[in-house]
Chains A and B, each alone.
Chain A
């Protein structure tokens, strides 16, 4: 198929030193190292893809039941000066996803 998403890593939740707020996730995007570069990704949809034991029905037409599941979200704003980004998901990301891959889609596209 080919990759149609930018790679990101879920680094953690927004937090102070001793308290974290799980409603907003911090994403480190690959190749994005400053705040100006994050402008491209604002508003883009993000997906945390994971596998579970029980097969669930796929949304793709004619696809068989699959173990793959997704939590969808959106990049809402930049975070800091070094290219990190904040994202809000439909359901908060599970903490086991920290340090793991998050897919940043290229849509809604503004180019």
Chain B
């Protein structure tokens, strides 16, 4: 499945209202990430029977793309949300969501291998699954099924070998900023455990870069302030240093 020259593609089985929704979702994606993902989607959809989009394949394309492109994996949640709403409204099914979840689960099972194979892909995966957790709701509640798997991923990032890598620490704190509060509501003891590890890591871990130390300290303070940014923290961590 190679890239095609044209960026035009058709989703004929969705009505115009849904197309508008999808359009908006894709537009909102940073152009660079959106472009690549859409090219991939295009190539697939052009080769498929236009009257019948295989949503399972679409789910796989999105997951594949998320593992390659970190920018896209940050946005994919929104796109998935849109497709799920559309499918539910249009045909009252959840083929896409089911395929997405199962694919997510497959990758989760092999996450250690994934990390060994490609650190970048692993980071993309964590970003993706956290993004999905953030966006996809079940009757306005977060997805229960993802709570422990997400925690597992974050715990992995808090291991010594991961703490030694700046990109992984960066990923960890970013996800905690975005979904930490929700995650804690779903399972508070595990969050306590996680932060125990982070404190230990901050204090005892050898080979921690100063940036990593800074990131860890900031997130520890952030949670202590009930997942809010205090003025003092804002000033310390995020303001320009004036000399």
State whether these chains interact.
Answer: no
Chain A residues within CB distance 8 Å of chain B: none
Chain B residues within CB distance 8 Å of chain A: none
